[in-house]
């Protein structure tokens, strides 16, 4: 297993980290499944585990907490808050009220007295940077979190938050969790350069592109990945962006074969090759899935392979930009771009 420092925090983290979105009902994993996955990950040298309050409505945190009993000090533990926990609209966002409440709930479910990283799951346009950073700074000073970060923030919001921390003499975001894969390279344009400029660590979500890069998705083969069962639109080949993804996959397969790599090794080796990236998050549902992904732990892609990938999907290009969850509010709400 390779290790990198998580930005300027000084914390060494494994280049492959364990993500827990599939823990619980979302991935149909049992308590025994989770115990086995966590144990296998730790035994393989994984030391960063990432979860979120919203995963299976808190069930993922509960399962993870139970699996970590007696091994809490072996891991860098990260959780997230901010996405809606129910339809009411009152249990979401990045206000002081909700972040304090959400963290307390997460600590209870995890069975711990602190987390190493608390991440704001999405930028909250309704809450000022000062409000959010002030709350997070107070939680840090209280010893309930060691560091805090952002997830899927556009580059200009990362810069704005860094400026606000300096202006108001508050602690700053030290980690960004970004969507990044061979098929979704948009963060290479602005987000990754900005995180490097500000000394932030980067953890990558969906490096296998929801299964597109798992090796299971091929032309002429029935798509049976777990994600395809509840996110059918992401695999509908009648849609132009999905057609583009399939065409890219078919061009990537011979590149992987020629290099003696699986598609998973190619995909994970690609994202961890970027100098801004600290760790790539795996999302296994079974120990077998984890084992296949951990085979990329020491994968280092040579220059000729990286060049070949650039020929398939150009640097900075997203093949399905609308799936990145980082569209500015004014692109989604017409009232925000029309003078009244």
Residue 296's nearest CA partner among 251, 261, 256 is 261
Strand partners, 132: none
| 3 catalytically annotated | no
Residue 6's nearest CA partner among 160, 188, 202 is 202
Note whether 28 and 64 are within 8 A (CB).
no
Q: Which two tokens stand for residue 240?
A: 């132009």
Sign of the Cα pseudo-torsion (183, 122, 229, 109, in order): positive
Q: What is the DSSP letter of 8?
A: G
Q: 302's torsion region: left (phi>0), alpha (psi -120 to 50) or beta?
A: beta
DSSP helix/strand/coil, 85: coil
Note whether 178 and 192 are within 8 A (CB).
yes
d(C-alpha 206, C-alpha 233), whole Å? 17
d(C-alpha 196, C-alpha 7), whole Å? 8
Residue 325: how many other CB atoms lie within 10 Å: 13
Q: Does an H or E element contain 164, and which?
A: helix 155-167
Given 55, 147, 173, 180, which residue is catalytic? 55
d(C-alpha 98, C-alpha 198), whole Å? 27
Residue 82's nearest CA partner among 295, 325, 333, 338 is 325
Residue 189: how many other CB atoms lie within 10 Å: 14
Q: What is the DSSP letter of 24?
A: S
For residue 305, what are the contacts with CB-CB under 8 A and spacing of at least 6? 255, 259, 261, 266, 269
d(C-alpha 191, C-alpha 9), whole Å? 19
Catalytic residue ranges:
55
């Amino acid at each position: 297993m390779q290790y990198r420092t998580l930005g300027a925090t000084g914390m060494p983290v494994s280049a492959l980290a364990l993500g827990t979105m599939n823990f619980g009902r979302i991935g149909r994993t049992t308590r025994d499944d989770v115990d086995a996955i966590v144990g296998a990950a730790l035994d393989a040298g994984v030391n960063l585990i990432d979860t979120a309050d919203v995963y299976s409505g808190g069930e993922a945190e509960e399962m993870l907490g139970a699996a970590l009993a007696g091994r809490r000090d072996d891991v860098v533990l990260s959780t997230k808050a901010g996405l809606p926990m129910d339809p009411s609209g009152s249990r979401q966002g990045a206000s002081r009220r909700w972040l304090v409440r959400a963290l307390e709930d997460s600590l209870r479910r995890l069975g711990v007295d602190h987390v190493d990283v608390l991440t704001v799951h999405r930028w909250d346009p309704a809450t000022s940077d000062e409000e959010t950073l002030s709350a997070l700074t107070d939680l840090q000073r209280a010893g309930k979190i060691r560091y805090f970060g952002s997830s899927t923030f556009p580059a200009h919001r990362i810069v704005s938050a860094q400026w606000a921390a300096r202006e108001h003499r508050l602690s700053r975001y030290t980690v960004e969790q970004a969507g990044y894969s061979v098929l979704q390279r948009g963060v290479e344009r602005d987000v990754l350069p900005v995180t490097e400029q500000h000394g932030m660590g980067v953890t990558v979500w969906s490096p296998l592109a929801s299964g597109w890069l798992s090796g299971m998705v091929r032309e002429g083969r029935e798509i049976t990945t777990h994600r395809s069962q509840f996110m059918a639109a992401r695999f509908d080949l009648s849609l132009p962006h999905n057609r583009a993804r399939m065409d890219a996959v078919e061009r990537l397969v011979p590149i992987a074969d020629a290099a003696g790599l699986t598609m998973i090794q190619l995909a994970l080796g690609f994202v961890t090759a970027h100098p801004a990236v600290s760790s790539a998050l795996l999302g296994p549902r079974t120990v077998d899935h984890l084992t296949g992904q951990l085979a990329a732990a020491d994968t280092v892609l040579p220059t000729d392979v990286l060049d070949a990938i650039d020929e398939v999907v150009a640097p900075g290009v997203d093949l399905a930009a609308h799936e990145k969850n980082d569209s500015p509010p004014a692109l989604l709400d017409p009232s925000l771009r029309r003078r009244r």
